[in-house]
């Protein structure tokens, strides 16, 4: 399901005494999250935060939020998950959000056989690994160009050419 508001991080603490917050990013890079004017604290966009300044700082992002001017104000935001509005993002061709491909049907590009449902994605550094659930079994498939044939989240569909030995029916 394509969601309008996407989880993208969590406010994990405060920084200084003037209301700055520390955000743990849940995206490919901290830089990505520094380019937004608005973030949200709910998945329907009702609670909008106007971002005054955001910059990477180690493994977190330091953010100044309009109207949050003291450590007490910032402390009230601790633990909040933050969301972005999909309309504020222009992804390059062939890129997609992980949340968009979760629960997609996975088929074999050559036979058309349904291999299962994409249930999770693990980011390993070298490449992502897709978890494909079929019945009570889970298969791990590297998300590499030799394997991934087509990704169509808007159609809830992914097509792969699995490496030999991943699925039971292979030699």
What mean pLDDT, rounded, does the chain reach?
A: 92
- Our count of domains for the chain comes to 2
Q: Provide mean pLDDT across the span 9-30.
A: 92
CATH code of the domain covering residue 66:
2.40.30.60
On whether residue 126 sits in a domain, the answer given is yes
User: 153 and 123, same structural domain?
Assistant: yes
Burial annotation 67-82 (CB, 10 A radius, 16+ → b, else e) = ebeeeeebeebeebeb
CA distance 88 to 35: 9
pLDDT higher than 60, residue 17: yes
Q: Of 62, 86, 110, which one is at a domain's C-terminal end?
A: 86
115: domain range? 98-160
CATH code of the domain covering residue 136:
2.30.30.240
For the chain, the first-to-last Cα distance in angstroms comes to 35
pLDDT of residue 168: 65
On whether residue 165 sits in a domain, the answer given is no
pLDDT digits (tens, 9 = 90+) for 123-166: 888 899 999 999 999 999 999 999 999 999 989 999 999 998 88
């Amino acid at each position: 399901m394509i969601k309008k508001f996407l989880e993208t991080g969590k406010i994990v603490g405060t920084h200084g005494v003037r209301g700055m917050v520390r955000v743990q990013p849940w995206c490919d890079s901290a830089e990505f999250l520094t380019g937004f004017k608005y973030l949200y604290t709910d998945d329907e966009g009702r609670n909008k935060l106007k971002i005054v300044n955001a910059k990477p700082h180690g493994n977190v992002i330091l953010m100044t939020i309009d109207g949050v001017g003291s450590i007490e104000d910032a402390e009230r935001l601790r633990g909040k998950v933050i969301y972005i509005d999909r309309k504020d993002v222009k992804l390059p061709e062939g890129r997609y959000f992980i949340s968009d491909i979760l629960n997609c049907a996975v088929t074999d590009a050559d036979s058309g056989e349904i291999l299962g449902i994409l249930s999770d994605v693990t980011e390993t550094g070298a490449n992502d690994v897709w978890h494909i659930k079929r019945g009570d079994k889970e298969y791990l498939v590297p998300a590499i160009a030799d394997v991934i044939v087509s990704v169509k989240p808007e159609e809830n569909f992914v097509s792969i050419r699995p490496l030999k030995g991943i699925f039971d029916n292979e030699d």
